[in-house]
Amino acid sequence: GPVDRYGPPRDPSTLLLEPHKLTREERWFQIFFVAAPWIFFLCMLSAPILLAQYHVKKLGERASLARQVAEELMETSDADFFRLCTFQDLREIVEQPLHAFLCFLHPDTISSQVVAPLLRDVASLFKRLGIRASVALVDLSAGVPERMQSELPAALAPHGQLLLPFAFGGQQAAVVDFAETWTAAEIVKAVAAEVPGAQAAMAHTQQ
């Protein structure tokens, strides 16, 4: 009756009022106002996760497209396979779509004089096998910024780095230090590990 409608619930631990105390509309509103906070909470909890998954997917698609374009540019590029340059010329090498093995050398060190003809042979090998990678010898005897002189000391030359062009090293070109022995086999192995199709070309010559 009307009195029972305003009385305490029979079960003090219940979350909802007994249905017989409410009209049909009140029962619907009671369910709605109890469920709505949980629904909004779940939406707020899942929205950042869904947005993050969406952006990760889009970034992956963009990176895949950039990688595809970079590979097409790499195939059509007519950059030199072997080049002697100064430190100031590095900008042109960084902007080219090819992988490049950079050798920072100084003409006064014996090691540099030994490595230079070796790298010329490596560049010829790349060209003959169709491996789209270049070799650049960078002279440290002049024009080196002071902040780089401590990182690339002339007395310890040669220094080796593998340049990864755009879309292979990320959104910008990147470099990987060459810390292996200065032999043709190790240099070719380091470059082939990064250049698409290089390992297949090397395997074909070994068969």
* 97 plus 158 within the same structural domain: yes
One pLDDT digit (tens) per residue for the chain, 207 residues = 565 665 666 766 666 767 767 778 888 888 888 888 899 999 999 999 999 999 888 877 776 766 666 666 656 666 678 888 888 888 888 878 788 899 999 888 899 899 999 999 999 988 888 888 889 999 988 778 888 888 888 888 899 999 887 655 555 668 889 989 899 889 988 988 888 777 776 665 555
Say which residues have a Cβ less than 8 Å from residue 34's Cβ, sequence separation at least 6.
15, 16
**Angstrom distance (rounded) from CA 73 to CA 91:** 18
* 27 plus 41 within the same structural domain: yes
Q: Is there a contact between 67 and 165 (Cβ–Cβ < 8 Å)?
A: no
pLDDT at 195: 82
* 113 plus 98 within the same structural domain: yes
Structural domain of residue 37, as residue ranges?
Answer: 1-6+13-76
* 127 plus 180 within the same structural domain: yes
Question: What's 18-73 look like in SS3?
Answer: CHHHCCHHHHHHHHHHHHHHHHHHHHHHHHHHHHHHHHHHHHHHHHHHHHHHHHHH
* 92 plus 176 within the same structural domain: yes
- Give the count of beta carbons closer than 10 Å to the beta carbon of residue 176: 14
Q: Which residue has the tokens 């409410």?
A: 22
* 69 plus 124 within the same structural domain: no
CA trace torsion 48, 50, 56, 60 (10° rounding): -170
Instruction: Provide the whole-model pTM.
Output: 0.62
Query: What CATH number should be reported for the domain holding residue 174?
Result: 3.40.30.10
pLDDT at 135: 92
Instruction: Point out the domain boundary residue: 55, 76, 97.
Output: 76
Instruction: Point out the domain boundary residue: 33, 54, 76.
Output: 76
* 49 plus 130 within the same structural domain: no
* 52 plus 89 within the same structural domain: no
Instruction: Point out the domain boundary residue: 76, 91, 126.
Output: 76
Question: Could you report how far apart the first and last alpha carbons of the chain are, in Å?
Answer: 96
* 172 plus 103 within the same structural domain: yes
* 135 plus 108 within the same structural domain: yes
160 exposure class (CB count in 10 Å sphere: 0-12, 13-18, 19+): buried
* 191 plus 91 within the same structural domain: yes
How many independent structural domains does the chain possess? 2
**Angstrom distance (rounded) from CA 106 to CA 112:** 6
* 48 plus 110 within the same structural domain: no
